[in-house]
């Protein structure tokens, strides 16, 4: 059933493409901007194309405003051109044989409306130019105008900033945020860049290998990562295991002591800055102490990130001074310690 306030719902949408097995369910509301975040090959673009009707579903259905757009196994299939879905493609795909104004007028079938949109997006002077003569940022705005001009209910954006130079990305991102805010319909964008996702979206849906691994506001997702991918993006140590009596059993005979780890299947997160490194077995109270080897050292601003192989793989962040004091090089044996109270635990 379609919930209150839900405009677009994707229900058990399944399809296979090469090695990808897509299986996704989620609901989108008009008021929110949602970002699909995931590594390359996670199936984000495939999902967008399926929602637009450019790829057929093998299972599940897509519903917009209570109207079934497509239902696998039934004859219900609203063709792409009748779905009222605007699509901004990754490299924009402006028609190279048409002027900018003709591109924008293509969907709305009115030059006057097209010119209005160009005006709104500050592109009026390019109306008669060919798309090939425009900069990346300008092309992105033309693509946005072209997708919005026919007045769609849904706006899908596939990596809207990926084709741009790093130097122009920030400015274009700011503009895009404003244009997205001005659009009243359903907004779903795909990105592999966490910064972009956090800055543009009200809600993130994290995808890996065709499936949703996490969903929530940017704060919820970054504070409580539920996958190695998100943990790496945020830069924290993430383990998963069974909790009992203040200990998380991560399998293979290894465990992590964590305050509040009482029962059940849990994630445990340790910030690298909470992890200390020592030459010899440290004195004192930390409950988590073991010996490992440094297998990777990289400088990140004024901090050094050290990856340690051991009972549980960990990343520690130390100052360059500490690094020198420890005489740490790749392959060095090193002791790891962190307090049970520095481990955040939440149900998996």
Partner 1 sequence: MRRERAPLWIGVLAAIGAAFFILPLIGLVVRTPWGDALQSLTSADTLDALRLSLVASLSATAFALVLGVPLAWVYARVDFPGRSVVRALTTLPMVLPPVVGGIALLLAFGRRGLVGSMLASFGVSLPFTTAGVVMAETFVAMPFLVLTVEAGLRSMDRRYEDAARTLGAGRWTVFTRVTLPLIAPSVAAGAVLCWARALGEFGATITFAGNFPGVTQTMPLAVYLLLETNPQGSFVLSLILLLVSLVVLVGLRHRWLGSA
Q: Site residues (CB under 8 A) for partner 1?
A: 49, 52-54, 79-83, 85-87, 89, 93, 95-98, 106-107, 146-147, 150
Closest by CA position to 53, among listed 74, 28, 70:
70
Query: Smallest distance, Å, CB 89 to partner 1?
Result: 6
Do the strands 203-208 and 247-251 form a parallel or antiparallel pair, or are they unpaired? unpaired
Closer residue to partner 1 (CB): 155 or 243: 155
Distance in angstroms (rounded) separating the CA atoms of residues 117 and 123? 8
Closer residue to partner 1 (CB): 148 or 204: 148
**Residue-level length of the chain:** 348
Distance in angstroms (rounded) separating the CA atoms of residues 265 and 249? 10
Distance in angstroms (rounded) separating the CA atoms of residues 173 and 183? 15
Query: Smallest distance, Å, CB 171 to partner 1?
Result: 25
Closer residue to partner 1 (CB): 18 or 252: 18
Closer residue to partner 1 (CB): 147 or 243: 147
Q: Which residue has the tokens 């673009």?
A: 45
Query: Smallest distance, Å, CB 130 to partner 1?
Result: 13
Closer residue to partner 1 (CB): 52 or 343: 52
User: What is the phi/psi pair of residue 52, to 5°?
Assistant: -75, -10
Query: Smallest distance, Å, CB 213 to partner 1?
Result: 28
Query: Smallest distance, Å, CB 115 to partner 1?
Result: 17
Distance in angstroms (rounded) separating the CA atoms of residues 247 and 238? 15
Distance in angstroms (rounded) separating the CA atoms of residues 250 and 253? 8
Query: Smallest distance, Å, CB 97 to partner 1?
Result: 4
Q: How would you list the strands of the sheet with 6-17, edge to edge?
A: 67-71, 59-64, 6-17, 20-29, 211-216, 203-208, 33-37, 186-191, 154-158, 85-88
Instruction: Return the structure tokens found at 135.
Output: 């900069």
User: What is the phi/psi pair of residue 310, to 5°?
Assistant: -175, -150
Query: Smallest distance, Å, CB 52 to partner 1?
Result: 6
Query: Smallest distance, Å, CB 160 to partner 1?
Result: 14
Distance in angstroms (rounded) separating the CA atoms of residues 115 and 127? 7
Closer residue to partner 1 (CB): 8 or 275: 8
User: What is the phi/psi pair of residue 224, to 5°?
Assistant: -130, 70
Closer residue to partner 1 (CB): 88 or 312: 88
Closer residue to partner 1 (CB): 106 or 290: 106
Residues 6+ away with beta carbon under 8 Å from 40 = 192
H or E element in which residue 50 lies = helix 44-52
């Amino acid at each position: 059933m379609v919930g209150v306030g839900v405009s677009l719902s994707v229900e058990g949408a399944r399809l296979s493409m090469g090695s990808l097995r897509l299986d996704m369910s989620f609901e989108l509301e008009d008021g929110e901007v949602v970002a699909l975040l995931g590594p390359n090959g996670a199936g984000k673009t495939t999902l967008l194309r399926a929602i637009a009707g450019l790829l057929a579903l093998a299972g599940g259905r897509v519903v917009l405003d209570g109207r079934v757009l497509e239902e696998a196994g039934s004859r219900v299939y609203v063709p792409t051109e009748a779905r009222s879905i605007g699509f901004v493609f990754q490299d924009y795909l402006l028609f190279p044989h048409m002027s900018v104004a003709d591109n924008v007028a293509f969907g709305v079938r009115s030059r006057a409306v097209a010119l209005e949109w160009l005006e709104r997006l500050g592109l009026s002077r390019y109306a008669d130019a060919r798309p090939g003569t425009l900069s990346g940022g300008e092309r992105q705005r033309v693509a946005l105008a072209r997708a919005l001009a026919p007045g769609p209910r849904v706006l899908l954006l596939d990596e809207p900033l990926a084709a741009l130079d790093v130097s122009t990305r920030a400015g274009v991102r700011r503009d895009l945020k404003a244009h997205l805010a001005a659009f009243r319909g359903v907004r779903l964008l795909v990105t592999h860049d966490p910064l972009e996702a956090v800055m543009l979206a009200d809600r993130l849906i994290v995808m890996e290998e065709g499936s949703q691994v996490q969903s929530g506001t940017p704060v919820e997702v970054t504070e409580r990562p539920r996958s190695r991918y998100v943990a790496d993006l945020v830069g924290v140590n993430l383990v998963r295991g069974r909790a009992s009596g203040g200990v998380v059993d991560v399998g293979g005979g290894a465990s992590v002591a964590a305050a509040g780890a009482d029962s059940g299947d849990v994630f445990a997160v340790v910030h690298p800055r909470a992890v200390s490194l020592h030459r010899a077995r440290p004195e004192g109270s930390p409950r988590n102490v073991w010996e490992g080897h440094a297998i990777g050292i990289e400088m990140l601003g004024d901090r050094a990130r050290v990856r340690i192989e051991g009972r549980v793989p960990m990343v520690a962040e130390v100052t360059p001074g500490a690094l020198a004091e420890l005489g740490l090089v790749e392959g060095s044996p090193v002791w790891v310690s962190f307090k049970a109270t520095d481990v955040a635990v939440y149900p998996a």
